[in-house]
Structure 1
Amino acid sequence: MWPNYALVASNLPPDEFGKHYTLGSSRYFHGQVVFAEIDPNYRHDFLKIDKYIDEVKPDASGTPKRTKFIATYRVLEHIDLEAFRELHITSTMGKVLTLKSAPYEKEHDQGYLRTFQELAPMRAIVLSWMTPPDFGEHITDPEQPKSAPKVLFNQIDFDIDDFLTKLESDPFHKSPIPNVHAHKLREQILEAKAKPEKGLKGISLDAAFGKIPFTQHRTGFWIAHHKEMLFYPIPSLEELKEEHWEWFKSLD
């Protein structure tokens, strides 16, 4: 799902699949990889899974088939939410953190400006007054010009008021959002604050996943589809250190 939007079949288990994409493949990717496991019994006419699935088997020597691309275009929108299993986050060192979906039950305060990151199929960073469920519904609304049937997104932990205070006292204060100049970011924040009725304000035409510390990602990941939503919570920092130490220490 990040950075590859494709549907890929493989004989590899998740730990080996993530390692293959970050360390052992000719399609090597330097950075964090996000992928989800799909129910192997799931089928959709658009994806033509049965046309290719029989090719996914070990060779004569017993070596597993590492990857077989089934589809690369409009994949996410053609997978029902019920078909998603675990979400996996691969570090640059090939270690895999597995996230399980859970109900999203958080109660939100109103009047709070949040920073959302769209990961698939669009890539963008957006300031929004919406809660995560409201934001997910908005960006999958077919009546909106910037939308898709399903979207994977997360929230960046960004203390906006603290940033504005520090930039005021230090004009050279570094922007916490990669590829967005600090003073340009300030302008975008002030515009969002001045026009809360707009609901959201884009601040980057690309996502920053892998360019900011993983611990700067807040709460978890969402796959939104109108009013429906899958939520994959991120373990707390303490849980990452205590229960997922091998993965945590492999982060950049």
Structure 2
Amino acid sequence: MATHEREYRMDELAEAAGVPVRTVRFYRERKLLPAPRREGRIAWYNDHHLARLQTITALLERGHTLGGIAELMDAWESGRHDVGELLGLDPALPTRWSEEEPLRLTPEGLADHYGDQATAENLATALDIGYIAVDGDDVVHVSRRLLEASAALVREGLPLAEVLATGRDMRDRMDPLAERFVELARTYVLPDAEADLQSGDTTRLTEAIARLRPLVQAVVEAELALAIDRRLREELGR
């Protein structure tokens, strides 16, 4: 006897996924959920929509942005329904280099950090950069440290718009640098990483990441400090 896939109305889907109905609507508008099956004026969702919602929630909790999730979901569309494992949701895989802690806030809580500079324009910029994501009634910031540091810079007198513009510029510059470090690690430190992962052994990869993390961070922090020293001397000279 053939088994029929379960279908849900929007409110039933939201309840099953543990998210507000408005979140389902928002994800549909952002093309994060595929179109439902229409029967007259009724929209029917299925278990694939439920799995997608659960994956989005898990990715947001790990600090991914909605923009990044939309790109990563291409793997799902191509038939790779183990996308959660591919994107690092499997705790056995050491896919996270950073130790940044995402932070869930109410919109009011986020505004408390920035005062009157928490304007719609600045929040839209933060969303575009990937610093924040909207999840139902809440806002998820990708990094507690970034949030606290940017709020402190605003209290020191820097306009939030300038802090965000600098953050966007840093991200653009950091990507090639990160690519270079990963290329060096893959070539000289982890030449057998692919074979290890295929065999299910993540021990060497985990240990190598633990060794490399403080070393790479020390190099980047030292170079940035030296660069600021040079700029400060130039400015003081003028």
Query: Which of the two has greater helix per residue?
Result: 2
Q: Same fold (TM over 0.5)?
A: no
Using the size of structure 2 for normalisation, the TM-score is 0.23
The TM-score with structure 1 as length reference comes to 0.22
Of the two structures, which has the highest relative contact order with CA contacts closer than 8 Å and spacing of 6 or more?
1
Of Structure 1 and Structure 2, the greater strand share is in 1
